[in-house]
Amino acid sequence: MNKIANFNIKVASILIFIGLIVATHNLIIPKNIFYLFLKLIFLIPSVALIVNIANIIPKHTLLFFSKVFGAIVLITLIIISYLSSKRKPDNFSDLFDKWDSFLGIPLPKFLINWPKWLDTPFMHWINKGWKSFIADYGLIFDAIGYGLLRGYTELKGIIVQTPWPIVIIGVIAITYFTSGRKVGTTVFVGFCTFFIGFLNPRFWDKAIETTTMVVIGIAICIIIGIPIGIAMARSEKVRNAILPILDTMQVIPAFCYLIPGIILFGLGAIPAIISIFIYACPPLIRLTDLGIRLVDEEVIEAARSFGASKKQMLLGVQLPLALPNIMQGINQCTMMALAMVVIASMIGTRGLGDEVLLGLQQLNVGAALEAGLAIVLLAIVLDRMTQAYGDKIQERTQPGKKKQ
């Protein structure tokens, strides 16, 4: 009984929300940030309610309806593609005018070569959506871009103005403490840092620019990625929803979002940072999720049996024990960020990647290789710093287990 009453309340509130969305969409409120905000506010609970309703309806009914829905969508798409195609036959019976044979079996021609009219107008839809998206919400991206640019220039300015010996000493000091006072690693990292400038004096400032972009990109990855990873570890549904998004982020070619990035954020460091996020965040999310799920079930049970709340469990048990994995994720994130920064030089991002590009354009193999070497050195420095920290944590949480 209670369930049914709940159900009715949910249906009613969904209808109200849908009504409000329609109202805001068409009539009353102009499309701006406030509009988006309002839409989000209405959208989030609506989605939650739909999910709840999906939970109430018996599973087989739901499956049946989703199949029917899928079939309807497919048929509609085919009809739309047929109708909207410019190269369709004049009338339906024309389809069967031309015949060909396959292994001696006569078949209508359109079954052998992919017909021109079987073509969903996705490109047009995306372009249309993209245009109105920029017109309506461009302001938001301007704001984000401005904020990031401000942070980037400030941070870069500080490091560039600092005398280079102090920067090297700073790097050495950080490595010394994160690596748990390992002298070998520290000396090695110090030398690598020195050699970046030693290769070519121009590289020093460029390396700082690159590092700043990487650091800001990683910071965004951590701020957004770790909570998402935690949410995925906690709920099977969230994981199933997010995994395909992560796959897309990792597989989609970088240029597909580099170019739109220019349109949204302009040339320079900001689209590079956004690209870093898209490219480097998935491994961090995956490793956070994995790390939390790999925590020994009995340890979790022990914490639960003592009455730990979800928050106490997360902060006191799950995160500390997942930390080696999370640090590995941050390390991966760093490496991928560096790779992306180099690719981003193609859209005018300055930094070490820019030097490589310049060398290649002038067919100056030496210059390109020199810059490439500097990138490798920078990668070693960043890798050692994050890796060493992860190892140190691992030693603390799992003492006795030596790294192979």
Q: Would you say 92 or 306 has its CB closer to another protein? A: 306
State in angstroms the smallest separation of the CB of 222 from another protein: 20
State in angstroms the smallest separation of the CB of 325 from another protein: 13
Which of 156, 197, 195, 193 lies closest to 175, judged by CA?
Answer: 193
The interaxial angle of helices 269-293 and 236-251, nearest 10 deg, is 140
Q: How many Å apart are CA 108 and CA 57, to the nearest integer?
A: 44
Q: Would you say 163 or 400 has its CB closer to another protein? A: 400
User: Is 156 in contact with 212 (CB distance < 8 Å)?
Assistant: yes
Q: What is the dihedral of CA 21, 24, 30, 36, to 10 degrees?
A: -30
State in angstroms the smallest separation of the CB of 128 from another protein: 43
Q: Would you say 172 or 300 has its CB closer to another protein? A: 300
State in angstroms the smallest separation of the CB of 2 from another protein: 15
As given in the structure block, the two tokens for residue 276 are 């870093």
Would you tell me which residues interact with another protein (CB under 8 A)? 296, 298-299, 301-309, 312, 316-317, 320-321, 396-401
State in angstroms the smallest separation of the CB of 110 from another protein: 44
> Taking CA 50 as the corner, what is the angle to CA 44 and CA 72, rounded to the nearest 5 degrees?
115
Report the greatest alpha carbon distance in the chain. 82
User: Is 325 in contact with 318 (CB distance < 8 Å)?
Assistant: no
State in angstroms the smallest separation of the CB of 58 from another protein: 10
Alpha-carbon distance values, 107 to 9, 30, 79, 92, 113 (Å):
56, 54, 22, 16, 11
Q: Would you say 160 or 308 has its CB closer to another protein? A: 308
Q: Would you say 67 or 304 has its CB closer to another protein? A: 304
Gyration radius of the chain over CA positions:
27
